[in-house]
Amino acid sequence: MNENYRCRIVMSKLPDFEGLAMFGKVAEEGSFAAAATAMGVSVATVSRAVTRLEERLGGRLFNRTSRRLALTDYGRSLAERAAKIYADAEEAEDVARETSSRPRGLVKLAAPLSFGTRWVAPLLPEFFRTYPDISVDLHLTDAHADLIGDGFDAALRIAIMEDSSLVARLIAPVRRFVVASPTYLSRYGRPQHPHDLGAHQCLTYVNRNKRDVWRFTHKNGEECTVTPTGALRGTSVEALLPTVLAGLAITELPEFVATQYFPDKQLEPVLTDWRMPEGGLYFVTPTARARPAKVSALADFFISKLTAAEWSAEKLMGWKPPGHGRK
């Protein structure tokens, strides 16, 4: 059998929902003109739909004259069910609109492991108290989450954002620090130039897109690139910190981790006349168009809570990076 013909046969078995709904509205309003006005369509559209339905069903639904419109006995037997189809459709759309505009439902959110543990998870109790109809699937990973391919609604991402099809809203800047413990520095010396790092144990990450490279810019504008080497590479900050805190190595840390170790001098920033590329904390979604209310609520909440950047070295210690304001 021809495939197109088969498709037409299948389609013809579907009820004429539009025709039934429009017929039900005409029967309810008592005229084609009143029904057309109520539905926001033309009288001709309503008339064609009812005529099509009559031809499909094989019976007249209305007796029409120039002055009067009356249901036939056949039409009267169908009118109540048809009017219910229209009412049910209206109710379904109203529920759908309310669901899309009122924050409720499940949000699948990705966030970096260290940042999510330290700064995202502690905020969730307040979020759930504010939005009791929203639930969150929180995926904490330092691997790059594919929002579209893995079906995420949103992500908190710490990065230097490049052009992409994603929609990213900057929440706060995030600097990076090269750090070491006082024990390490007293034992092995403090590097004065990035090139000095070649003589030091430098712990790096295995989840970078390319081999880990540290890029520095001096406050006088000089630039330097270093490929660090060391005894350990890890997938997360947590994997590297014990070795660094034990005084056995140097590493680079994001600001939201490093600054918690500065006040009691468990770690110290080194190469303080140099700065590494500044990234940012972003709320990222696949698209901004027709964003569900549940995602907008989550975005607004995290933006309101994290924009102040409680981890900021400048806020905690009044420390500004070299070449502050330089891009």
Give residue-wise pLDDT tens across range 199-220: 999 999 886 655 678 999 998 8
Q: pLDDT value at position 189?
A: 94
Please state, rounded to an integer, the average pLDDT across all residues of the chain.
84
What tens digit of pLDDT does each residue of 244-280 get?
999 999 999 988 898 889 888 999 999 989 988 888 8
Whether the Cβ atoms of residue 179 and residue 251 lie closer than 8 Å to each other: yes
In this prediction, residue 326 carries a pLDDT of: 43
Confidence band of 6 (pLDDT split at 50, 70, 90): very low
CA distance 245 to 215: 23
Report, in angstroms and rounded to the nearest whole number, the Rg of the chain calculated over CA atoms. 32
Q: Which residues contact 38 (CB under 8 A, 6 or more apart)?
A: 25, 29
Task: Average the pLDDT over 284-302 and give the result.
Answer: 83
pLDDT band at 94 (very low <50, low <70, confident <90, very high): low
* Alpha-carbon dihedral 9, 14, 17, 18, rounded to 10 degrees: -20
pLDDT band at residue 128 using 50, 70 and 90 as cut-offs: very high
All residues at 6 or more sequence positions from 33 whose CB lies less than 8 Å from its CB, including other chains = 43
pLDDT band at 120 (very low <50, low <70, confident <90, very high): very high
Q: What is the pLDDT of residue 293?
A: 85
From residue 186, give the alpha-carbon distance in Å to each of 183, 308, 311: 5, 35, 27
- The answer to whether residue 8 scores a pLDDT higher than 80 is no
